[in-house]
């Protein structure tokens, strides 16, 4: 099973001039006659940038994976992977922008949420002459394009990393595609403990279940809001489906404090859920399964091994 068709070819790799310093006007990045724009529609500056503050954990992770971690001079408190990222000075887009300005970055990386959440913070950075680029991967199909733009900013070639990423995902998908439908494990994915919400089928976790050979109990769940991958489900419905759930998958992290079987099993009625009763519960870090990073591969592999240990020893 080849899943590369899910990712349309978005950009060719290109060569860039140097990233400008604070207060200088950078030339726009272009491919042929097309000028590249970030996720907020702004023209992207040219690279390579060498003093970057990343205010989104996915950007930090991906830059390290691309071999450009040395370009980072700061991160956000949520940037804890890889271990080297935890040693970076921290900056908070909910705090005083003067701290970031004083560090004299040649680029601050954000995502669209940050511009919406803290417009004054971003405006102060730009007023000080600091280049701000907003990037985000809209679903799995947007991952390659996002990585190529991120790589362009630091002047590295992302293609070997992307090729290896898709090759390994294809390998998992090819194995699970051979499993007869009647033998596939039925999975419920819990995104949040509050209201026991799940995710939409087209989300990163939803796709991970498919790639790992699972059948999503909550397929067809509607998004909680426009553009959201979180979907309503509810404890009552979970218990109703309880005897049909072979594996209960919980993402752990800021969105969900449930991180062990004992806590999960103490919920009212949860002893009636087949997966909980049999201990078939997998707790997986939200950064590994729900974030647009190369570590998503390890999340899919971990889930596949849990579902089919004989197939993935």
- Where are the chain's structural domains? 4-160, 179-307
Residue 20: predicted pLDDT: 54
What separation in angstroms does the CA of 11 have from each of 37, 43, 148?
Answer: 12, 15, 7
Q: Token digits for 81?
A: 């992977």
> Containing H/E element for 186?
strand 186-190
Residue 34: predicted pLDDT: 63
Tally: H helices and E strands in the chain: 12, 12
Residue 12: predicted pLDDT: 30
Q: Do domains 4-160 and 179-307 have the same CATH topology?
A: yes
The helix/strand/coil state of 135 is coil
> Containing H/E element for 225?
none
Q: Token digits for 267?
A: 């919920």
Q: Tens of pLDDT along the chain (313 residues)?
A: 444 444 332 223 232 334 655 444 444 454 444 678 989 999 998 879 999 999 999 999 999 999 999 999 999 988 888 999 989 999 999 999 999 999 999 999 999 999 999 999 999 999 999 999 999 998 899 999 999 999 999 999 999 999 999 999 999 999 999 999 999 999 999 999 999 999 999 999 999 999 999 999 998 888 887 778 899 999 999 999 999 999 999 999 888 888 899 999 999 999 999 999 999 999 999 999 999 999 999 999 999 999 999 999 8
The helix/strand/coil state of 29 is coil
Q: How far apart are CA 22 and CA 27, in angstroms?
A: 14
Other C-beta atoms closer than 10 Å to the C-beta of 140 total: 20
> Which overall architecture, per CATH, does domain 179-307 show?
3-Layer(aba) Sandwich (3.40)
Q: Which CATH superfamily is domain 4-160 in?
A: Nitrogenase molybdenum iron protein domain (3.40.50.1980)
Looking at residue 51, what DSSP letter applies? S
Pairing state of beta strands 34-35 and 52-54?
unpaired
Question: Of 238, 224, 230, which is closest to residue 281 (Cα–Cα)?
Answer: 238
Residue 6: predicted pLDDT: 41
What lies within 8 Å, CB to CB, of 34 at 6+ separation is: none
Question: Of 246, 226, 248, 223, which is closest to residue 235 (Cα–Cα)?
Answer: 248
Residue 15: predicted pLDDT: 29
Other C-beta atoms closer than 10 Å to the C-beta of 17 total: 13
Pairing state of beta strands 132-134 and 72-74?
unpaired
Other C-beta atoms closer than 10 Å to the C-beta of 107 total: 26
Looking at residue 207, what DSSP letter applies? H
pTM for the complete prediction? 0.87
User: CB–CB of 203/210 below 8 Å?
Assistant: no
């Amino acid at each position: 099973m080849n899943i590369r068709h899910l990712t349309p070819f978005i950009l060719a790799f290109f060569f860039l001039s140097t990233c400008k310093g604070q207060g200088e006007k950078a030339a726009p990045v272009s491919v042929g006659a097309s000028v590249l724009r970030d996720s907020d529609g702004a023209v992207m500056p040219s690279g390579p940038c060498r003093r970057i503050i990343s205010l989104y954990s996915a950007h930090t992770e991906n830059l390290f994976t691309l071999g450009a971690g040395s370009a980072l001079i700061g991160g956000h408190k949520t940037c804890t992977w890889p271990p080297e990222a935890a040693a970076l000075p921290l900056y908070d887009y909910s705090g005083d922008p003067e701290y970031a300005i004083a560090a004299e970055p040649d680029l601050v990386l954000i995502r669209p949420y940050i511009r919406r959440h803290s417009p004054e913070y971003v405006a102060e950075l730009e007023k000080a002459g600091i280049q701000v680029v907003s990037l985000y991967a809209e679903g799995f199909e947007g991952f390659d394009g996002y990585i190529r733009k991120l790589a362009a900013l630091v002047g590295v070639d992302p293609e070997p990393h992307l090729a290896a990423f898709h090759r390994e995902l294809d390998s998992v998908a090819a194995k699970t595609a051979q499993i007869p439908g009647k033998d596939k494990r039925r999975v419920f994915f819990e995104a949040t403990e509050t209201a026991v919400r799940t995710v939409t089928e087209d989300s990163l976790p939803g796709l991970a279940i498919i790639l790992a050979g699972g059948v999503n109990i909550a397929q067809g769940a509607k998004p909680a809001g426009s553009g959201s991958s979180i979907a309503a489900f509810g404890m009552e419905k979970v218990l109703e489906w309880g005897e049909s759930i072979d594996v209960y998958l919980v993402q752990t992290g800021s969105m969900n404090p449930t991180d062990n079987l004992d806590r999960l099993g103490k919920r009212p009625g949860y002893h009636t859920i087949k997966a909980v009763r049999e201990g078939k519960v997998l707790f997986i870090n939200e950064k590994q399964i729900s974030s647009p990073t190369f570590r998503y591969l390890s999340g899919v592999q971990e889930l596949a091994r849990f579902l089919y240990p004989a197939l993935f020893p």
